[in-house]
């Protein structure tokens, strides 16, 4: 199922500077709870590939387009 991964990301050095990032994700489970668990490694991978940022909060939204 198609979901949108929505993350509020902030700069590590200036934590009050945040922005929303959205990423389309396909192939997650139909069940929102299961999809949330499946998306956790995607959030972790984003943090690993974006040094200087941290994820303040995140969620998955079913069927949403950017």
64 CA to centre of own chain:
13
Q: What is the pTM of this model?
A: 0.86
Say yes or no to pLDDT of 64 above 70.
no
Task: Quote the domain boundaries for residue 35.
Answer: 3-59
Q: Does residue 44 sit within a domain?
A: yes
Nearest CA to 6 among 66, 58, 64?
58
| CB-based contact 7:44 (threshold 8 Å) | no
Q: Residue 49: inside a domain, yes or no? A: yes
DSSP state of 52: T
Count of C-beta atoms within a 10 Å radius of residue 57: 11
Instruction: Identify whether 40 is part of a domain.
Output: yes
Q: Token pair for residue 8?
A: 């509020």
The total number of structural domains in the chain stands at: 1
Tell whether 66 is covered by a domain.
Answer: no
Give the pLDDT confidence of 3-53 residue by residue, as tens digits: 999 999 999 999 999 999 999 999 899 988 899 999 999 999 999 999 999
Q: Would residue 39 count as lying in a domain? A: yes
Calpha distance 10→30 (Å, rounded): 30
């Amino acid at each position: 199922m198609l979901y949108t991964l929505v993350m509020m990301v902030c700069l590590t050095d200036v934590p009050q500077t945040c922005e929303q990032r959205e990423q389309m994700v396909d192939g997650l489970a139909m069940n929102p709870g299961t999809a949330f668990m499946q998306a956790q490694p995607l959030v972790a991978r984003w943090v690993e590939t974006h040094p200087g940022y941290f994820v303040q909060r995140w969620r998955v939204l079913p069927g949403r387009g950017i």
